[in-house]
Amino acid sequence: MISRLSAVGVAVLLLAGCSGEATDSPAPASPPPSGSASPPAPPAVAGVQPAAQAYVDAVNREDLDALVAAFAPDGKVIDVSRTIAGRDAIRDWARNEVIGGRLRVLSIAERRTGGQKLLVHWAPAGSDGWRAHYDFTVSGNGIRTADLQYA
């Protein structure tokens, strides 16, 4: 009787070991819940002018001061049909509408002396986003105009 119980016990242990369920190994990592962590920085597109890249980087780092510093003192943003002029107004606009979103440069749509137009994917906080053209005009002291239009 004891040998029969031992044989049954060994068989149960062997079957448990072959069940395919690992009890000692950690569970596979599950993706973090949506919105719980910042996504990795998007890869840079070669050839983006430094002032425009500073704007993109500041958006993705959620760095309001760096975003404002990317503009010339008299710089302006044209956000579809609204004009936001001067660093103080740009700071207010960016705090309320930009910081917290994600900006990815898809390509350089146009190159010219003193500026360039970028095709971007802009995703405000809580949104999947959309494509847009960000047309930057730059001078020695930063972005003079950032014209942001739907693509």
One-letter identity of residue 124: P
Phi then psi for 2, rounded to 5 degrees?
-65, -40
- Provide the domain count of the chain: 1
Buried b (16+ CB within 10 A) or exposed e, 121-130: bbeeeeeeee
Task: Give the domain CATH number at 105.
Answer: 3.10.450.50
Q: pLDDT (tens digit, 0 to 9) for every residue of the chain, 151 residues total? A: 444 444 444 343 333 444 444 444 333 333 334 444 445 555 678 999 999 999 999 999 999 999 999 999 999 999 999 999 999 999 999 999 999 999 999 999 999 999 999 999 999 999 999 999 999 999 998 999 999 999 9
pTM across the whole model: 0.72
Host domain of residue 107: 50-150
Q: How crowded is residue 99: how many other Cβ atoms within 10 Å of its Cβ? A: 18
Instruction: Judge whether 57 lies within some domain.
Output: yes
Instruction: Judge whether 108 lies within some domain.
Output: yes
Instruction: Judge whether 34 lies within some domain.
Output: no
